Amino acid sequence: MPRIRRTRIRRPSAAERDRGSASTELAIVAPLLLLLLLAIVQFALAVHAHHIAQAAASRALATARAEHATAEAGRADGQALLRAVDSGSLRGPSVAVTRTGTRASVEVSGTVVKLIPFLDLHVTARAAGPVEHLTGPDR
């Protein structure tokens, strides 16, 4: 009677079973990490754009609040600051100044430059305060 030879099925070791899994994991995780990095930079640009808008609003308000100033002078001063800074993170800024006999208010708005295509961020900064009226013994 012929002898039956048994063949053993060789099981791959743990290291052999995991071969190639690192490149699969990297292909899944890399786009997510890049998107997270872009989101962080987009948020930083939005904060920077807000700071620029707030600086322009504060400067326009300081000019518009002066005793003999006008709303147009405040708007021109706010736009001059925006031109001087010209950071590129605040796109299409607009400066709106209103001034009454007792109060002045400014609103600066614009959009943030896009890094993530589907994300539209708008920035608005407001400042308001009383109009200066100098008083003294001769007034």
Q: In this structure, what CATH number is given to the domain that contains residue 105?
A: 3.30.1300
pLDDT of amino acid 18: 63
pLDDT of amino acid 11: 76
Take residue 16 and report the two structure tokens written for it. Answer: 């052999």
In a domain, 9, yes or no: no
Task: Decide if pLDDT at 47 tops 80.
Answer: yes
Question: Distance between CA 46 and CA 10 in Å, rounded?
Answer: 59
Task: Decide if pLDDT at 16 tops 90.
Answer: no
The arithmetic mean of pLDDT across residues 75-88, rounded, is: 91
pLDDT of amino acid 17: 66
Task: Decide if pLDDT at 9 tops 80.
Answer: no
In a domain, 17, yes or no: no
In a domain, 4, yes or no: no
Task: Decide if pLDDT at 43 tops 90.
Answer: yes
* Domain extent at residue 86: 27-130
Question: Distance between CA 52 and CA 11 in Å, rounded?
Answer: 64
pLDDT of amino acid 88: 84
Question: Distance between CA 90 and CA 5 in Å, rounded?
Answer: 79
Task: Decide if pLDDT at 41 tops 80.
Answer: yes
pLDDT of amino acid 27: 85
pLDDT of amino acid 21: 67
Task: Decide if pLDDT at 96 tops 90.
Answer: yes
Say how many domains are in the chain: 1
